Structure 1
């Protein structure tokens, strides 16, 4: 199994057991939202590509990331089909927006904050796959564990790019977004989603 101890150390909290219990009881919603998140992750990577056409390292890393996220999207769609679950549009969790609304506006600052937020989202995805896997059926557990390596690499790629394009150390900005993320994960949440808080 992929070692994610560095990701667990990076995040300020682990996924609450209450979320795990709720997720296992409603895998339909979790799988639909998981598919949507993979598609959104690919779209986010493509947006970074389109906004930074002269930054070759962003183009290369985000191109690979987008392809992997779309592959994961297709894999989740196949699981949904096999389980006779219809893929549909569902209301998004406010999780990502909680961080995005605090991103700075300047071109360079916005890029750095976007990359930091991307790193945190990928880190949380990896942690949740790891946390959920022991509670799932064999097929789904094996699939989620297979995603750990790529999600961990995505987190590292985002963070490395943020460091590269920041004119100052990023630790303070990372801490700002990690605290926002922790509040979203540990706070009460009326929606059950892959990145939601504690179900109420």
Structure 2
């Protein structure tokens, strides 16, 4: 399996001990880490919604491209794994007596969705790259929480999920490389990664996994 290209972090220094993550144009800020550590249950609740949304994205692609057998073969198990993660996070929320409830969304997801081109085959390329960017950011932030959270239970949770999160954004890269020239994929990824970083440049007042 080929690895995704590495887009080097730019701008502000990385958060403490942040791993350099392929796909991302800029690292998560120390301010986000401090905010997330100060509101662990709220970030955990948002994490549950993120896992459910990630499963929905994979399923949406399956329904949008019903004749693409390789896409179905790759994304069907991914959707199942995302739902398994949702159940794991839900179980932890229940142990903590945190009820599942809607949360106002930060501009992150909608901003990325607006950048997806509407004509095919560009729409599929952008959809795969956006999904991969979100997974890459999740991986980076879970790694930060696994290392820095003062809550041992949360450190264990995020540490267990790191390998699968890395597989997920790697899978989206492979699906792109199977369909488009590498140069075209890298060029579009750089554009979308710059947008993704800009959406996180100003810290959202309400802590979220992607805020």
TM value normalised by structure 1: 0.91
Structure 2 match to 1:142 = 156
- CA displacement at 1:6 relative to structure 2: 8.5
Structure 2 match to 1:154 = 168
Structure 2 match to 1:66 = 79
* 91, 94, 101: which one aligns with 2:114: 101
Q: Does residue 175 in structure 1 map to residue 190 in structure 2?
A: yes
The answer for unaligned runs of 5 or more in structure 2 is 1-17
SS at match of 2:28: coil
TM value normalised by structure 2: 0.86
Q: Does residue 52 in structure 1 map to residue 65 in structure 2?
A: yes
Q: For the structure 1 residues 12 and 148, does the alpha-carbon distance in structure 2 shift closer, same or farther, using more than 3 Å as the test?
A: same
Structure 1 match to 2:12 = none
Query: 2: CA distance between counterparts of 1:174 and 1:185?
Result: 17
* 27, 34, 50: which one aligns with 1:14: 27
Query: 2: CA distance between counterparts of 1:23 and 1:6?
Result: 17
The answer for unaligned runs of 5 or more in structure 1 is none
Query: 1: CA distance between counterparts of 2:157 and 2:67?
Result: 36
Q: For the structure 1 residues 6 and 163, does the alpha-carbon distance in structure 2 shift closer, same or farther, using more than 3 Å as the test?
A: farther
Residue range with higher mean Cα deviation, 178-187 or 113-122: 178-187
Aligned length: 192
Deviations 1:111-170 (A, max 9, x none): 110000011000000000001112222221111011111111110111111222236721
Q: For the structure 1 residues 6 and 161, does the alpha-carbon distance in structure 2 shift closer, same or farther, using more than 3 Å as the test?
A: farther
| Contact 1:117/1:177 (<8 A) preserved | yes
Residue range with higher mean Cα deviation, 24-33 or 120-129: 24-33
| Contact 1:7/1:152 (<8 A) preserved | no
| Contact 1:49/1:62 (<8 A) preserved | yes
Query: 1: CA distance between counterparts of 2:115 and 2:184?
Result: 18
Q: Does residue 23 in structure 1 map to residue 36 in structure 2?
A: yes
- CA displacement at 1:184 relative to structure 2: 1.5
Structure 1 match to 2:126 = 113
Query: 1: CA distance between counterparts of 2:154 and 2:207?
Result: 19
